[in-house]
Amino acid sequence: MSTPLIEIKDLHVSVEGKQILQGLNLTINEGEIHAVMGPNGAGKSTLSNTIMGHYNYKVQSGSIIYKGQDIKDMTADQRARLGIFLAFQYPTAIPGVSLGNFLLACTRSVRGEDSVKPLPFRKELFAKMKELGIPQEFAKRYVNEGFSGGEKKRLEILQMAMLRPSLALLDETDSGLDIDALKVVAEGISRELAANNTAALVITHYQRLLDYVKPQHIHILAGGRIVESGGPELALQLEKTGYDDIINKYLK
């Protein structure tokens, strides 16, 4: 369990000329679950987008070593094929493309064309949809078009389930969910992480998702750096004190 899956060293990232991450360090070992918390604008989404390889996020210095190689010059699809997955905070609609066809294309691309046959794929897809409480007919609907916020989040986890990543970046997957929806999504996440020994970087503002996903490590991101790290107790403490102390201590 102690083999490093991803090691981020002294990472500096800018977005549209604006400096966001300023010397971030983070190591996640295989199968470990880490949570990153922090106030708005701290750089949480920048971190997940940078690891995934969004072209608007420019790495100025530092390194991202994943499975032993520096991936910082790789495109997002190359990273996806190496086992990195990002569950989006705001999944984008792709009108006219059915979820089923989209998932077949993605699954083939990530797992390999030859290892994904249409019939077993359908069986697996429908089984996973059932587990996540997603109606089967959603497979015919267009990707992220006309779905509620909660449905979109479930569909993100469905994609994760099909792509079986080694590292899942979950960007505020709990936002916009009511208690019941949160339970279904969070249980789905826990189940899928365990099934594939997937490591996770869970980005959230709130404790409630962590009650289900149970990270071993909590990091607090502020001003583009990780300013504190600890065990689950750190999240509980934050829940009581809020971010004011952090902001006062590191950002003033």
Partner 1 sequence: MSEKNQEIKDIGNSYKYGFADAEDYVYKSGTGLSPRLITEMSRMKGEPDWMLHNRLKAYEVFMSKPMPSWGPDLSGVRFDDIHYYVRPSERPAVTSWDDVPEYIKNTFDRLGVPEAERKHLAGLTAQYESEVVYHSIKSNLEEKGVIFLDMDSALREHPDLVKKYFGTVIPMTDNKFAALNTSVWSGGSFIYVPKGVKVDIPLQAYFRINAQAMGQFERTLIIADEGAFVHYVEGCTAPIYSQDSLHSAVVELIAMEGARIRYSTIQNWSTNVFNLVTKRAHAYKNATVEWIDGNIGSKISMKYPAIYLLGEGAHGEVISVAFAGKGQIQDTGAKIVHAADNTTSNVLSKSISKGGGQASYRGLVKVSGDAENVKGNVRCDALLLDGISRSDTYPTMLVSNPKVRIGHEATVSKVGDEQIFYLMSRGLSESDALAMIINGFFEPFAKELPMEYAVELNRLIKMEMEGSVG
Q: Is the dihedral of CA 112, 91, 214, 27 positive or negative?
A: positive
CB of 168 or CB of 220, closer to partner 1: 168
Cβ proximity to partner 1: between 102 and 126 the closer is 102
Q: Residue 67: exposed, middle, or buried by beta-carbon count in 10 A (0-12, 13-18, 19+)?
A: middle
Provide the minimum distance between the beta carbon of 15 and partner 1 in the complex, in angstroms, as a whole number: 12
Of 92 and 248, nearer to partner 1 (C-beta) is 92
What does the alpha-carbon distance between residue 214 and residue 232 come to, in Å, rounded to a whole number? 8
Query: 129: Cβ–Cβ under 8 A, 6 or more apart, which residues?
Result: 135, 136, 138, 139, 158
Closest CB to partner 1 among 55 and 179? 55
Q: Is 80 in the site for partner 1 (CB under 8 A)?
A: yes
3-state secondary structure of 166: coil
Q: Which one-letter DSSP state was computed for residue 137?
A: G
Q: How many residues bind partner 1 (CB under 8 A)?
A: 30
CB of 90 to partner 1, least distance (A): 8
Per rule CB under 8 A, is residue 138 in the interface with partner 1? Answer: no
CA 41 to chain centre: 18
* Per CB under 8 A, 164 contacts partner 1: no
Query: Binding to partner 1 by residue 23, rule CB under 8 A?
Result: no
**Site of interaction with partner 1 (CB under 8 A):** 52-56, 75-77, 79-81, 85-86, 88, 91-97, 102, 105-106, 109-110, 142-143, 159, 163
